[in-house]
């Protein structure tokens, strides 16, 4: 790649509202990997809440908006498997019958990537320059794993963080119970699922949980603190970018 790739960073609504650090970490990694990063100001959300609620019309409207905003970039990158998956797999489906947008949706889908997979698979980059003394464990967020095949890539990059050791979960690929609005519609069932995940996390002996999706991370962090556990929760990009010295998710400022 001789030209500097122009990346439109799709921050995701949760990162935008809850944890800008993840956005900065993502931008840091992309810039280190040689990209020029832009953050279109009018971005709102990928539209999953509407899509998964069966509100196809609103989901399609949001999708059109997103396409218009991002289609001028070489790549669209999101620090989230579920949002990247929405753009990559579901936008073309959502707009398949829209003659004005069907091709544009497919085009955007072809250029959209989850952050970690983008770094390793598209940019062939592994220049992680960070350290993290300690044991972490890693949760494979469902969409990233099953829709986009993101599994080895974060582990490959974490292996480049000096001092860091990954203690694998007994069941890293089992759903944490977030599922977007699922966790709010069925709180007890979701609670049972996040409890199983939490038990698994505690059993690893790790002091930090990492994952690639903020929804999962907030769900798990919320359950850990509710249970009085001291394990910290961060987005994997924070650790890879070396900007993980601020408060962990759900922790107060010092």
Q: Looking at beta carbons only, is 105 or 164 nearer to other proteins?
A: 105
> Which contiguous run of DSSP H or E holds residue 44?
none
Phi-psi region for residue 250, left (φ > 0), alpha (ψ -120 to 50) or beta?
left
Of the candidate spans 101-109, 151-159, 180-188, 200-208, the one that interacts with other proteins by CB under 8 A turns out to be 180-188
206 binds other proteins (CB under 8 A): no
CA distance 20 to 115: 15
189 binds other proteins (CB under 8 A): yes
51 binds other proteins (CB under 8 A): yes
Considering only 1, 6, 34, 44, the residue that binds other proteins (CB under 8 A) is: 44
147 binds other proteins (CB under 8 A): yes
Residue ranges of alpha helices (H) inside the chain are 13-18, 20-32, 48-52, 56-70, 81-85, 91-94, 102-110, 115-117, 142, 152-158, 182-185, 187-204, 214-226, 236-241
182 binds other proteins (CB under 8 A): yes
Q: Looking at beta carbons only, is 218 or 244 nearer to other proteins?
A: 218
Closest distance of CB 47 from other proteins, Å: 7
Closest distance of CB 55 from other proteins, Å: 6
Q: In what order do the strands lie in the sheet with 208-211?
A: 162-166, 131-138, 208-211, 232-235
Considering only 108, 130, 209, 218, the residue that binds other proteins (CB under 8 A) is: 218
Considering only 1, 4, 6, 20, the residue that binds other proteins (CB under 8 A) is: 20
Rg (CA), the chain: 18
Residues 105-144 interacting with other proteins (rule: CB under 8 A): 142-143
Of the candidate spans 101-109, 120-128, 204-212, 217-225, the one that interacts with other proteins by CB under 8 A turns out to be 217-225
CA distance 218 to 234: 9
Q: Looking at beta carbons only, is 43 or 153 nearer to other proteins?
A: 43
DSSP 57-121: HHHHHHHHHHHHHHTTSSEEEES-HHHHHIIIIIHHHHTTT-TTTHHHHHHHHHTEEEHHHIIII
Closest distance of CB 50 from other proteins, Å: 5
Interface with other proteins (CB under 8 A), residue total: 73
Residues 221-250 interacting with other proteins (rule: CB under 8 A): 221-223, 225-226, 246-247, 249-250
To the nearest 10 degrees (0 to 180), the angle between helices 214-226 and 187-204 is 80
Q: Which of 237, 211, 249, 179 is nearest to 9 (CA)?
A: 237
Considering only 1, 34, 53, 131, the residue that binds other proteins (CB under 8 A) is: 53
187 binds other proteins (CB under 8 A): yes
5 binds other proteins (CB under 8 A): no
């Amino acid at each position: 790649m001789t030209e500097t790739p122009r990346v439109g960073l799709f921050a995701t609504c949760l990162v935008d509202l809850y944890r800008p650090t993840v956005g900065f970490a993502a931008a840091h990694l992309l810039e280190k990997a040689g990209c020029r990063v832009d953050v279109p100001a009018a971005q709102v959300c990928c539209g999953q809440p509407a899509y998964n609620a069966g509100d196809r019309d609103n989901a399609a409207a949001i999708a059109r908006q997103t396409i218009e905003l991002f289609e001028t970039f070489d790549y669209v990158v999101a620090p989230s498997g579920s949002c990247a998956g929405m753009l990559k797999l579901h936008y073309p489906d959502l707009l398949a019958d829209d003659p004005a947008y069907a091709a544009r949706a497919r085009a955007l889908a072809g250029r959209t990537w989850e952050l970690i997979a983008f770094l390793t698979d598209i940019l062939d980059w592994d220049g992680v320059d960070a350290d993290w003394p300690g044991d972490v464990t890693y949760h494979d967020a469902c969409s990233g794993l099953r829709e986009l095949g993101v599994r080895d890539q974060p582990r490959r990059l974490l292996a480049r963080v000096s001092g860091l050791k990954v203690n694998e979960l007994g069941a890293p690929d089992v759903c944490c119970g977030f599922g977007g609005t699922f966790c709010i519609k069925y709180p007890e069932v979701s609670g049972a699922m996040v409890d199983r995940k939490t038990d698994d996390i505690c059993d690893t002996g790790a002091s930090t949980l990492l994952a690639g999706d903020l929804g999962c991370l907030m769900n798990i962090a919320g359950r850990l603190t509710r249970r009085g556990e001291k394990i910290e929760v961060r987005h994997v990009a924070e650790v890879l970018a070396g900007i993980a010295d601020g408060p962990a998710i759900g922790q107060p400022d010092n």
